[in-house]
Amino acid sequence: MEFEFDEDQRLLQRLVRETVAKSRSQPPDQLWATYLELGWLEAPPVELAIVLEELGYAADATPFLATATWFA
């Protein structure tokens, strides 16, 4: 089994990390709007895990985890 991220997944990981770092000073509602605009809530399971991991590293203040897993 392959347990490494593919190139697209590594790119997503960098994108999430950079986006969160750049927008850290924004209020949570603006962060939320950014995440919605980027389509992170519609990510497939592996990509969603990547997004959640990066948001966790950044101590994200939005309700992303609760919303993304609401119907899981």
The whole model's pTM is what?
A: 0.84
* pLDDT-based confidence at residue 28 (cuts at 50, 70, 90): confident
Q: Which of 50, 52, 62, 49 is nearest to 23 (CA)?
A: 62
Q: Which residues of 30-67 are buried (b: 16+ CB within 10 A; e: fewer)?
A: ebbebbeeeebeebeeebbebbbebbeebebebebeee
Please state the rounded mean pLDDT for residues 23-45. Answer: 89
Inform me whether the pLDDT recorded for 72 exceeds 80: no
**How confident is the model over 35-65, as pLDDT tens digits?**
999 999 899 999 999 999 999 998 888 888 8
What are the CA-CA distances from residue 60 to residues 8, 53, 57, 64, 69 (Å)? 23, 10, 8, 8, 16
